[in-house]
Amino acid sequence: MRVLTSRLSSFANSRNLVQRAMHLLQDKAYVNGEWVTAASKKTFEVKNPATGEVVGCVPDMGVEDVQKALEAAKVAYESWHTKTGKERSELMKRWYYLMDQHHEELSKLVCVESGKPICESRGEVTYGNNFVEWFAEEARRIRGEIIPSPSNNKKMLVERQAIGVAALITPWNFPHAMITRKAAAAMASGCTCVIKPAEDSPLTALASAKLAEEAGIPKGVFNVITSDKPNASAVGKLLCTSDLVAGISFTGSTEVGKLLFTQCAAGIKRVGLELGGNAPFMVFSSADLDAAASGALACKFRNCGQTCVSANRFLIQEDIHDEFVEKFAQKIKCLNMGNGIDEKVNVGPLVNKAQFEKVSKMVEDAVAKGAKVILGGKPATAYGELYYEPTLLTHISSDMELYKEEVFGPVATLIKFKTEEEGLAIANGTQRGLAGYFYSQDVSQIFRVYNKLECGMVGVNEGIISAAEAPFGGIKESGLGREGSHHGIEDYTYYKYICIGSLT
């Protein structure tokens, strides 16, 4: 009876959250400055993973609708890229200020459509807003250069110019920040955008469009098209092959990224890919184990383990392994599961049934092959059909799926290693290279290990590493290019060399 009462309360609270965010809740897509339906008039439902409740309906758009958005973005590009950096900056700052003013409404939308706890949703909105503020400032700092000429009668100049229309395909796990991180960089550079958010979480993208409209961003500069999963393949192919698109930016799985990369090859398009990870989290004998356990908790269980930079393999030096297991287990026991609208909750549901089944099967495979369950290891059905217990497993072997693949869920797997060299061999024994983490108090070891880790980002004695000021991206099969920082402009600009002759 107590669980039923809690579930009913969660439904009621979810409705209240949506009602309080009604100003930003949209049921149409945003194309060329107008709120539009799909040509087919079809729609699809957006559900709260925590409750199964429908929180909105949006257009199920196809290639005909997307073509119109691309055409609008191409027309808008002609005037947008000729604005000065200062003009673009001022418009983007207005957008940032509106996002900041509506911080709580955006947070509630993130919470109800992604299942992310409200405390984390607020953090994501702050993080996402920071990209708009950052790139609004970067718009005025896109510099060229003057090259000393080898000839007295020539002047050699280099300018950076916007590439054109950028197609942005974003994931469900960060429905606000993944859009602002891409779109703000593109817009600051002088590009216009056609954004395809994930079908699980399109409402936050449309809320961002609403605020862009209110900020006075010109029509056609920021377009959001929504489509359900059956249309995703055709829409993605059009974005990759259309002559109207100059560049693609995609965040998602490595498998889909490879497909999009292949489709972009025919047009030699600019491609930015932020793909899957398989992050190692190494704890050496010299580490502060209390700090390491706290860092591991934040790195693994944030957003229910559904982040591309979540630690996936915990590599623990054997002489401190058992002590670390005990400390980590005590941290995990303090986590509170439930509907993210509850301020006390810090672990919500998995995003959908497919993800829930993937996590369940990977744990079952590991246990069948000899993994030891320290905590969790099964669905948490008392909370809802998409909840899975925070899980801690030891005795992990190389024949288990959890050893080889990214779990993308609330499951921590611990692997012993003896020497630094052995630990690094295990950490680097993957084709993924997004993020890596390690804890050590040995200064010499810190410099050796971060230099040898094969990944694009490294957290040393730190489990949370993302910031607007820092370049985000990976190596190997984890992607191409960097987002955030001043390097985030590079995917959306090209260098134009100008040689002026006959000067003497």
DSSP 8-state class, residue 489: G
* 327 and 206 share one domain: no
According to the model, what pLDDT value does residue 8 have? Answer: 45
Crossing angle of helices 2-20 and 103-114, in 10° steps, is: 140
Q: Is 116 exposed, middle or buried (0-12, 13-18, 19+ CB in 10 A)?
A: buried
202 and 343 assigned to the same domain? no
366 in Cβ contact with 400 (< 8 Å): yes
In a domain, 146, yes or no: yes
pLDDT tens across 176-192, in order?
A: 999 999 999 999 999 99
Percent of the chain at pLDDT > 70 equals: 96
Q: Helices (H) and strands (E) in the chain — how many of each?
A: 15, 22
Domain co-membership, 328 together with 447: yes
For residue 23, the model assigns a pLDDT of: 82
| pLDDT value at residue 12 | 54
Phi, psi of 366 (to 5 degrees): -65, -45
Tell me the C-alpha distance between 489 and 491, whole Å: 6
Same domain, 356 and 483: no
Whether 434 is in a domain gets the answer yes
Tens digits of per-residue pLDDT, 9-66? 555 555 565 566 668 999 999 999 999 999 999 999 999 999 999 999 999 999 999 9
Do 189 and 251 reside in the same domain of the chain? yes
Averaged over 327-337, what is the pLDDT?
A: 97
As a whole number, the mean pLDDT across the chain is: 95
- pLDDT tens, position by position, 157-178: 999 999 999 999 999 999 999 9
233 and 193 inside one domain: yes
Residues 328 and 449 in one domain: yes
Summarised one tens digit per residue, pLDDT across range 92-123 is 999 999 999 999 999 999 999 999 999 999 99
Radius of gyration in angstroms for the set of CA atoms belonging to the chain, rounded to a whole number: 24
Spot the catalytic one: 120, 133, 274, 490: 274
Q: Are residues 284 and 316 in the same domain?
A: yes
Over residues 427-435, mean pLDDT? 97
Residues 379, 273: Cα–Cα separation, whole Å: 33
Q: Is residue 7 part of a domain?
A: no
Is residue 6 one of the residues assigned to a domain?
no
> Do 214 and 292 share a structural domain?
no
Q: Does residue 351 form part of some domain? A: yes
The answer to whether residue 50 sits within a structural domain is yes
Could you tell me if 302 and 371 lie in one domain? Answer: yes
Q: Distance between CA 327 and CA 420 in Å, rounded?
A: 22
Read off the CATH number of the domain in which 197 is found. 3.40.605.10
- Looking up tokens 């591991």 gives 296
Neighbours of 200 (CB within 10 A): 19
Cα angle 375, 377, 382 (rounded to 5 degrees) comes to 100
**Is 45 part of the annotated catalytic residue set?**
no
Identify the band that residue 5 occupies on the pLDDT scale cut at 50, 70 and 90.
Answer: very low
Please check whether residues 285 and 270 belong to one and the same domain: no
Confirm if 459 and 444 have CB atoms less than 8 A apart. no
Residues in the chain: 504
Q: Is residue 503 part of a domain?
A: no
Instruction: For residue 159, give the 3-state DSSP assignment.
Output: strand
Residues 384 and 318 in one domain: yes
- pLDDT tens-place string over residues 453-487: 999 999 999 999 999 999 999 999 999 999 999 99
- Residue 134 — pLDDT band, cuts 50, 70, 90? very high
Q: What is the mean pLDDT of residues 254-279?
A: 96
Q: CA geometry: angle at 345 spanning 57 and 414, to 5°?
A: 105
Question: In this model, does residue 337 exceed pLDDT 90?
Answer: yes
**CATH at residue 419:** 3.40.309.10
Question: Longest C-alpha distance within the chain, in Å?
Answer: 91
Whether 251 has a pLDDT exceeding 80, the answer reads yes
The answer on pLDDT for 289 being more than 50 is yes
412: containing domain: 279-467
Dump strand ranges (E) for 178-257. 192-196, 222-224, 245-251
Q: Is the pLDDT of residue 4 over 60?
A: no
- Arithmetic mean of pLDDT, 218-238: 97
Q: Give the pLDDT score at 324.
A: 98
Instruction: Establish if 350 belongs to a structural domain.
Output: yes
Q: The tokens of 91 are what?
A: 């418009």
20 against 430, higher pLDDT: 430
Question: Considering its fold, how many domains does the chain have in total?
Answer: 2
Confidence of residue 2 (pLDDT cuts 50, 70, 90): very low
